[in-house]
């Protein structure tokens, strides 16, 4: 009898999960149930899958609304009907248009209009829904004579009164209004709960035909979803057999390119992988990935293939990835194996400037009906719940802040905050908004709308309404087309080197980079600022502690830097064992057998699988589920609990002491949630070596590329500082040399106009276009004559010294610009036929000081260029110890002066905060500091600036840092 039920996928409306909705129905012996979420079918796959376990017949549907106005409900008779509903939703979502008041003439969909809707004539597939509280109105309704078109409509949105209050809170959040101001039309009535079928029959006892009509509609709706077969595009060419032939041909051609003609191991592994690929019908998936790479390479678009796909030698031979799986002994079955329960995927990274073109190619190549971006769902979490509820309950910001930051405060104890606390617990992890996956793309055999309606988020490409977990359940294999700033650094460096030095660089010669002595030296000394993944303070510290100077050690470092490994204490253990390989004992002989290459430490996701399989006796499928569950990529808590129980029962059966089993489990928990697959770490390490090579031999061009891609761990001034360290001469923006982006000529770097605060893009475009068309500007008057510009924009350029080639002071230029701009300006600028004779103005001598210039630069660029920030200090003291000689002062208390670069916050076991700071000294060299809670309480950080630090120099594995006792932010001189 239930044709209209909302789950919490009716965003900011429904209050019931799919499981809760079905549990209620099961408890009331409801035999058939329709899921009709508002303007979405995102819950249908989960609903259909879960309903069978409850013995309930599922019906797929959708409720269509414009805002708060209910228009009609659609119920799919079969999967073709579900596609019709999805197509109807998709059409309106993609075109951003409202739904019409009348439903279309569906072929396989029943349409139910609300009782309040007046219809002259209903089609065979259309009905009027009558709520229990509307039954008495039938006596005077014209519909009474057409009772064969009437059905029972008992909407379900919550369970009880408490659920209704939660619903109203969600509606108030959705409307951004106070609960007290929420109107009845903006929320559901309290009667939208599930009643026992007997009570519904009783309410409609005088109208048995309505009961029969309702049952007939439910009986005629039959939805099934295939969760067993893969849904991706089945063939790349025309047939499965030609796909196999093409993939085999490409794989062996690529093998010769990668390994030569006489590598027996490579040939055997290629054959082994192809057999599995063919057996699992994954030929087309590999060929589609190859096709994307082929296109990007034809367009000279650089890519990095990473993730578990890098375990595959076939992927290596197809040039999808540059990671050699034989060299690293990578485990193909981690990517694809007959027992694996989850589909694999390729992660392919492109520059943030290029990814859109690749995505457009994929959609055009495989068709918009069959291609979609993968959706995602953001949920209500943590502080955001309290902020949202606090607003709709009318709490002022100060009280909301106190409730979040100091929940135990006695002022928080009142009826309103108690209600908020209760609602917050109910709302936790509710879906809040549909969004977009970081890079997933689906390419399906059938039109995507057989499975999902499509949204059109700001990205501008059709996107599924459900997320990666549903895609996995449906057996879709996604391609991850990701964007990354590090790739932009590499690609642009190559282009800048070609322009500035006339040299051609091949960044794919990674095997040469691994052996290059200068590159390895830079890695060992952690001279890695700007280099992908290895420039953060923590990573630089790890590289120095490991004295890392080779590819394989970097692969390991890329994984052990992850939070779980560091937090568990095993990162420190790894470093110790790395330097003392005979100075420790393995937990168990099996741990030595499986983890000897990483000194008994689980470094990679593959290690979790190996330990679970060989130590605890889980089969490979169970071990992989364990790994995925702990990394947050598996949703079945029941299955996870079964595997956890199996782990410990197997350990007991093998006679392991409980303490040993618990310690192994603790380490698995530490690593599985954060560690990379070895192939993923290897991919990152390849890109790191490419960055290192470019920084080693083309440091200035590399730093310009980093600056222009606005990417990296640090703010722009840090990279300008690094360019200076590498020997560059940094120039302020100049109207005759600068572009929108930063550029280099020889060893001179001209700061890009893009960094100038409040300088409009239109002004920059006019300036650069005019200069490139008609040559450099000869004077300020010449500039104003040729470029249309207002006083405010001109003032920005003058204050920043962009007209310094005139040899005039800023003050003189400001006076001159003011006078010139007061002249009438022609509407259309065109080059003058004759040279304009300038008038010479005689002005009194106007002062200009380096200090004032520096403050102008700080205001307009956020950092000075003409002088160092240290030159602004009131003191001449620059520190008694500097970064380069800290190791000579270990154990001593010293004073150091440093410009704050970044701060890392860590919560101690006692829930106190301790900070790790990173600074640069007057020579531009980095050093790190440690601030324990007592020191921080008395001497906190006070924002950007230069600090005087008093503390003891300590070292760990040869890496120094300063344990700070006292700290003071240093005052600057004032501009007179």
**Cβ atoms 443, 15 nearer than 8 A:** no
Q: What is the mean pLDDT of the chain?
A: 90
The pLDDT tens digits of the residues spanning 297-307 come to 999 898 888 76
pLDDT at residue 610, as a whole number: 85
The pLDDT tens digits of the residues spanning 455-467 come to 998 878 999 999 9
Please state, in angstroms and rounded to a whole number, the distance separating the CA atoms of residues 627 and 669: 9
Query: Whole-structure pTM over 0.85, yes or no?
Result: no
3-state helix, strand, coil in the chain (%, to 5): 45, 15, 35
- Give the range with max mean pLDDT: 455-459, 481-485, 561-565, 936-940: 936-940
What number is the average pLDDT over the span 50-69? 95
pLDDT at residue 680, as a whole number: 82
pLDDT at residue 827, as a whole number: 53
pLDDT tier for residue 511 given thresholds of 50, 70 and 90: confident
As a whole-number percent, the residues of the chain with pLDDT over 90 amount to: 73
Task: Label each residue of 25-93 as H, E or C.
Answer: HHHCCCCEEEECCECCCCCHHHHHHHHHHCCCEEEEEEEEEECCEEEEEEEECCHHHHHHHHHHHHHHH
Query: Within its chain, how far is the Cα of 18 from the centroid?
Result: 27
Q: Positive or negative CA dihedral for 355, 361, 364, 367?
A: negative
Is the pLDDT assigned to residue 925 strictly greater than 60? yes
Please state, in angstroms and rounded to a whole number, the distance separating the CA atoms of residues 485 and 491: 10
The pLDDT tens digits of the residues spanning 928-954 come to 999 999 999 999 999 999 999 999 999
Token pair of 593 as six digits? 């057998």
Please state, in angstroms and rounded to a whole number, the distance separating the CA atoms of residues 690 and 508: 8
The pLDDT tens digits of the residues spanning 618-672 come to 887 778 777 777 666 555 567 678 888 999 999 999 999 999 999 998 888 777 6
Please state, in angstroms and rounded to a whole number, the distance separating the CA atoms of residues 740 and 734: 11
pLDDT at residue 342, as a whole number: 54
pLDDT at residue 863, as a whole number: 94
Please state, in angstroms and rounded to a whole number, the distance separating the CA atoms of residues 288 and 683: 20
Query: Within its chain, how far is the Cα of 731 from the centroid?
Result: 35
- Report CA-CA distances (Å) from 730 to 700, 742, 752, 767, 800: 11, 10, 11, 21, 14
What number is the average pLDDT over the span 588-598? 92
What number is the average pLDDT over the span 867-891? 96
pLDDT tier for residue 913 given thresholds of 50, 70 and 90: confident
Instruction: Report helix angle 637-653 to 658-672, nearest 10.
Output: 140
pLDDT at residue 338, as a whole number: 65
pLDDT at residue 626, as a whole number: 78
pLDDT at residue 926, as a whole number: 96
As a whole-number percent, the residues of the chain with pLDDT over 70 amount to: 93
Is the pLDDT assigned to residue 30 strictly greater than 70? yes
pLDDT at residue 227, as a whole number: 92
pLDDT at residue 841, as a whole number: 58
Token pair of 591 as six digits? 């741990």
To the nearest 10°, report the CA torsion of 127, 130, 131, 132: -140
What number is the average pLDDT over the span 786-813? 95
Please state, in angstroms and rounded to a whole number, the distance separating the CA atoms of residues 527 and 869: 23
Query: Out of 126-140, 381-395, 908-922, which region has the weakest mean confidence (pLDDT)?
Result: 908-922
Higher pLDDT: 740 or 510? It is: 740
**Cβ atoms 716, 710 nearer than 8 A:** yes
């Amino acid at each position: 009898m239930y044709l209209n039920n909302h789950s919490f996928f009716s965003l900011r409306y429904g209050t019931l999960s799919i499981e809760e909705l079905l549990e209620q129905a099961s408890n009331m012996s409801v035999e058939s149930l329709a899921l009709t979420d508002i303007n979405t079918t995102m819950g249908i796959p989960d609903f259909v899958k879960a309903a069978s376990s409850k013995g309930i017949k599922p019906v797929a549907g959708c409720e269509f609304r414009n805002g708060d106005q209910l228009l009609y409900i659609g119920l799919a008779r079969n999967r073709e009907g579900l596609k019709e509903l999805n197509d109807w939703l998709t059409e309106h979502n993609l075109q951003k248009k409202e739904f019409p008041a009348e439903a279309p003439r569906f072929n396989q969909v029943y349409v139910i209009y609300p009782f309040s809707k007046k219809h002259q004539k209903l089609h065979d597939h259309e009905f009027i829904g009558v709520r229990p509280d509307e039954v008495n109105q039938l006596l005077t309704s014209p519909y009474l004579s057409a009772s064969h078109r009437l059905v029972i409509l008992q909407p379900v949105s919550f369970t009880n009164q408490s659920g209704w209050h939660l619903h109203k809170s969600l509606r108030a959040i959705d409307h951004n209004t106070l609960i007290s101001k929420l109107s009845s039309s903006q929320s559901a009535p309290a009667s939208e709960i599930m009643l026992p079928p007997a009570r519904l029959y009783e309410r409609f006892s005088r109208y048995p035909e309505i009961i029969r009509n309702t049952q007939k509609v439910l009986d005629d709706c039959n939805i099934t979803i295939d969760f067993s077969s893969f849904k991706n595009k089945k063939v790349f060419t025309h047939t499965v057999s030609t796909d196999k032939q093409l993939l085999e041909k490409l794989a062996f051609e690529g093998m010769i390119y990668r390994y030569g003609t006489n590598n027996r191991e490579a040939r055997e592994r290629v054959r082994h992988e192809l057999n599995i690929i063919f057996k699992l019908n994954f030929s087309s998936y590999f060929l589609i990935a190859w096709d994307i790479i082929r296109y990007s390479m034809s367009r000279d678009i650089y890519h990095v293939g990473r993730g578990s796909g890098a375990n595959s030698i076939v992927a290596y031979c197809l040039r999808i990835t540059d990671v050699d799986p034989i060299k690293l002994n990578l485990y193909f079955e981690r990517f694809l194996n007959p027992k694996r329960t989850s589909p694999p995927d390729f992660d392919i990274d492109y520059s943030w400037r290029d990814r859109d073109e690749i995505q457009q190619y994929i959609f055009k190549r495989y068709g918009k009906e069959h291609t979609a971006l993968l959706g995602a769902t953001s949920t209500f979490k943590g502080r955001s719940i309290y902020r949202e509820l606090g607003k709709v309950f009318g709490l002022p910001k100060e009280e909301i802040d106190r409730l979040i930051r100091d929940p135990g405060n006695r002022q928080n104890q009142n009826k309103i905050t108690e209600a908020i606390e209760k609602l917050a617990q109910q709302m936790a992890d509710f879906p809040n908004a549909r969004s977009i996956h970081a890079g997933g793309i689906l390419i399906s055999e059938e039109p995507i709308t057989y499975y999902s309606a499509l949204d059109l988020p700001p990205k501008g490409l059709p996107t599924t309404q459900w997320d990666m977990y549903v895609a996995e359940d449906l057996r879709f294999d996604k391609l991850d087309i990701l964007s990354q700033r590090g790739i932009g650094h590499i690609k642009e460096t190559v282009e800048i080197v070609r322009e500035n030095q006339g040299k051609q660089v091949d960044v794919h010669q990674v095997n040469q980079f691994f052996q290059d002595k200068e590159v390895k030296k830079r890695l060992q000394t952690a001279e890695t600022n700007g280099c992908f993944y290895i420039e953060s303070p923590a990573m630089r510290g790890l590289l120095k502690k490991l004295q890392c100077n080779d590819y394989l050690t970097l692969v390991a470092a890329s994984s052990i830097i992850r939070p779980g490994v560091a937090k568990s204490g095993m990162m420190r253990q790894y470093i110790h064992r790395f330097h003392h390989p005979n100075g420790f004992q393995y937990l168990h002989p099996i741990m030595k057998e499986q983890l000897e290459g990483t000194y008994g430490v689980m470094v990679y996701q593959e290690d979790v699988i190996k330990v679970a399989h060989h130590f605890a006796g889980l089969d490979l499928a169970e071990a992989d589920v364990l790994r995925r569950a702990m990394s947050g990529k598996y949703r079945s808590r029941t299955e996870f609990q079964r595997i956890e129980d199996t782990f410990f029962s197997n350990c007991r059966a093998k006679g392991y002491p409980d303490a040993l089993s618990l310690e192994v489990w603790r380490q698995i928990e530490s690593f599985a949630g954060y560690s990379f697959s070895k192939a993923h770490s290897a991919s990152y390490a390849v890109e790191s070596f490419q960055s290192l090579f470019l920084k080693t031999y083309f440091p200035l061009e590399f730093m310009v590329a980093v600056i222009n891609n606005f990417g990296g761990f640090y703010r722009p001034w840090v990279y300008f500082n690094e360019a200076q360290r590498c020997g560059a001469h940094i120039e302020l923006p100049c109207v005759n040399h600068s572009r929108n982006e930063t550029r280099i000529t020889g060893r001179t770097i001209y700061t890009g106009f893009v960094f100038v605060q409040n300088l409009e893009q239109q002004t920059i475009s006019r300036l650069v276009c005019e200069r490139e068309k008609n040559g450099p500007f000869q004077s300020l008057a010449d500039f104003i004559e040729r470029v249309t510009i207002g006083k405010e924009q001109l003032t920005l350029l003058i204050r920043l010294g962009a007209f310094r080639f005139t040899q005039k002071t800023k003050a003189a230029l400001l006076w001159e610009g003011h006078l010139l701009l007061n002249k009438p300006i022609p509407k259309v600028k065109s080059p003058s036929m004759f040279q304009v004779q300038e008038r010479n103005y005689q002005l009194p001598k106007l002062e200009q000081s380096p200090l004032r210039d520096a403050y102008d630069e700080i205001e307009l660029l956020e950092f000075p260029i003409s002088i160092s920030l240290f030159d602004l200090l009131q003191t001449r003291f620059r520190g008694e110890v500097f970064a380069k000689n800290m190791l000579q002062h270990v154990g001593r208390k010293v004073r150091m002066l440093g410009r704050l670069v970044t701060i890392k916050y860590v919560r101690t076991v006692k829930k106190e905060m301790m900070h790790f700071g990173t600074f640069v000294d007057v020579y531009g060299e980095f050093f790190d500091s440690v601030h324990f809670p007592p020191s921080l309480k008395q001497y906190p950080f006070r924002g950007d600036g230069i600090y005087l630090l008093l503390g003891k120099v300590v070292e760990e594995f040869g890496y120094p840092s300063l344990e700070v006792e006292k700290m003071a932010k240093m005052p600057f001189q004032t501009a007179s």
